[in-house]
Chains A and B, each alone.
Chain A
Amino acid sequence: MVRPLMRYLAYPTDYIFRALPPLGLVDVEVCILPGQDGGDLHPFVMARRAASRPFAPLTPQAQGSVASR
């Protein structure tokens, strides 16, 4: 069986700081989380869509799990 390619693309760090704000995404951060065994590092982009007024604080219900819904 011939397996399909599994390609891997990496991005320059400044790409997200350059590309996201023009789309209306602000407060851009890169959060780097440790992997399963603390070895691999996993960068995650965090951002939010610009709001016309400040983001409302989350209620406990909104933050909760299925059990609290």
Chain B
Amino acid sequence: MRDSNTEWERWGEIDPLYGVAAAKGRERGGKNPWSDAEFYERGQQHWQRFHPAWRRYGIDCRNCLEIGCGAGRITAQLAGVFAMVEAVDVSKGMIDYAVAHVTAPNVRFHLTDGTALPLESASITAVFSTHVFQHFDSIDQATLTFREIARVLAPGGSIMIHLPMYRWPVFHRAPMNSSTVYTRTWAPSAHGYCVLSSRAEWCVR
């Protein structure tokens, strides 16, 4: 059992909403604890920013795997876009909370051990995850998870995964790691975003 799994299981037991969205004063017993309505509305607000970016990249909406669904904040939104959603988490408390509050019939929740995904190879057309990889024990754990993602992802299927980064260049253009990777960034605004790409050409979106 990984330490991060143990911690996340504990968050699922004591305060699922704060565990997912840790903002000052929003914990149970805090000055302004999350209500269910506020929590799931926040998920809707986030998804409204995530979805257009993924749609521009290209999504096949037949089904979606959500890695680390937590209390179902984004799961509820995915259910409105994908024909079927497979939502996985390592915390029983989180899964129980999500099952009670996300009642869309096209969602299946799975409790996992965080190592193997309970899905057939090449059976998923889209994979989404947000604010999950930042809680992993190590980069090796991320690599193992990406390997599982690649296994279940169907050819042509796409992923959108939140991954905190450092050493990302700002306001310059420079080679990274190989001659095919260049960076160009600028200050994102509420109306746009920037992209680092491994493709030969650059896309400004």
Instruction: Tell whether A pairs with B.
Output: yes
In whole Å, how far is B77's beta carbon from the nearest beta carbon of chain A? 10
- Check B146 against A66 for contact (C-beta < 8 Å): no
- Check B133 against A9 for contact (C-beta < 8 Å): yes
Size range of the chain B interface in the assembly: 35 or more
Q: Please list 11 pairs of residues, one from A and one from B, whose beta carbons are closer than 8 Å in the complex, sorted by A's number.
A: A4-B7, A9-B135, A13-B168, A19-B143, A31-B53, A38-B189, A44-B162, A48-B157, A49-B158, A51-B155, A65-B80
**Could you say which residues of chain A place their CB within 8 Å of the CB of B62?**
62
In whole Å, how far is A26's beta carbon from the nearest beta carbon of chain B? 8
Alpha-carbon distance A58/B81, docked complex (angstroms) = 13
With CB as the reference atom, state the residue of chain A lying closest to B155. A51
**Could you say which residues of chain A place their CB within 8 Å of the CB of B61?**
58, 62-64
B181 on the A face (CB < 8 A): yes
- Check A29 against B195 for contact (C-beta < 8 Å): yes
**Could you say which residues of chain B place their CB within 8 Å of the CB of A34?**
49, 188-190, 193
**Could you say which residues of chain A place their CB within 8 Å of the CB of B147?**
23
- Check B138 against A9 for contact (C-beta < 8 Å): yes
Instruction: List B residues at the A interface (Cβ < 8 Å).
Output: 3-4, 6-8, 10-11, 14, 19, 22, 45-46, 49-50, 53-55, 57-62, 79-81, 83, 130, 133-139, 142-143, 146-147, 149-150, 153-169, 176-178, 181, 185, 188-190, 193-199, 205
Closest 6 pairs between A and B when the two form their complex, measured CB to CB: A51-B156, A23-B150, A4-B10, A51-B155, A4-B7, A30-B196
- Check A43 against B164 for contact (C-beta < 8 Å): yes
Instruction: List A residues at the B interface (Cβ < 8 Å).
Output: 1, 3-21, 23-34, 36, 38, 41-52, 55-56, 58, 62-66, 69
CB contacts between A and B, total, < 8 Å: 192
- Check A32 against B139 for contact (C-beta < 8 Å): no
- Check A49 against B157 for contact (C-beta < 8 Å): yes
**Could you say which residues of chain A place their CB within 8 Å of the CB of B197?**
28-30
**Could you say which residues of chain A place their CB within 8 Å of the CB of B134?**
8-10
**With A16-B163, A43-B162 as contacts: A7 and B135 at CB distance below 8 Å:** yes
Alpha-carbon distance A44/B161, docked complex (angstroms) = 5
With CB as the reference atom, state the residue of chain B lying closest to A55. B156
In whole Å, how far is B149's beta carbon from the nearest beta carbon of chain A? 8
- Check A48 against B7 for contact (C-beta < 8 Å): no
Alpha-carbon distance A7/B22, docked complex (angstroms) = 12
- Check B159 against A10 for contact (C-beta < 8 Å): no
- Check B7 against A41 for contact (C-beta < 8 Å): no
- Check A33 against B190 for contact (C-beta < 8 Å): no
